[in-house]
Amino acid sequence: MGGFGRIRGTLPTVFLSRALDDDDEPIGYEQVSGLKLLFNPEQEAAYRSLPDSLRFKEAQRLYGRGAQATTDFLKKCIGAGIMRKEGREYRKVEVVEQEG
């Protein structure tokens, strides 16, 4: 969700997911950030297993997939704001996990 405020200008994008109660009934929305933006438990686990700094070949070896799948994974991590590319190295960005 994002938008434009008349006086404030562009509002930053906020990612939301449906919040459910114990009976799986919708009760509202909650903000999604950090690792949860990967929307994939396997990729979340793979990210956790990576060192704080690595090069592509090491990422490919640790991720255990081909070059294109590794590229897609790293780009997804960068897009989620949990990793950045500095020259030839990829570095994890410190992420504050939300409870829930």
**Within a domain: 98:** no
**Same structural domain for residues 27 and 42?**
no
Q: Which two tokens stand for residue 48?
A: 């956790």
Q: With respect to residue 100, please indicate whether it lies within any of the assigned structural domains.
A: no
User: What is the C-alpha separation between 25 and 79, in angstroms, rounded?
Assistant: 31
Rounded distance between C-alpha atoms, residue 50 and residue 54, angstroms: 8
Q: 9: pLDDT confidence band, cut at 50, 70 and 90?
A: confident
Q: State the residue range of the domain holding 85.
A: 34-93
* pLDDT tens track for 35-61: 888 989 999 999 999 999 999 999 999
pLDDT at residue 30 in the model: 86
Number of structural domains found in the chain: 2
Give pLDDT tens digits for 62-71.
Answer: 999 999 999 9
21 and 43 together in one domain: no
Top-confidence residue, 12 or 25: 25
pLDDT single digits (tens) 84-96: 999 999 999 976 5
How far is Cα 70 from Cα 75, in angstroms, rounded to an integer? Answer: 9
Give yes or no: residues 45 and 11 share one domain.
no
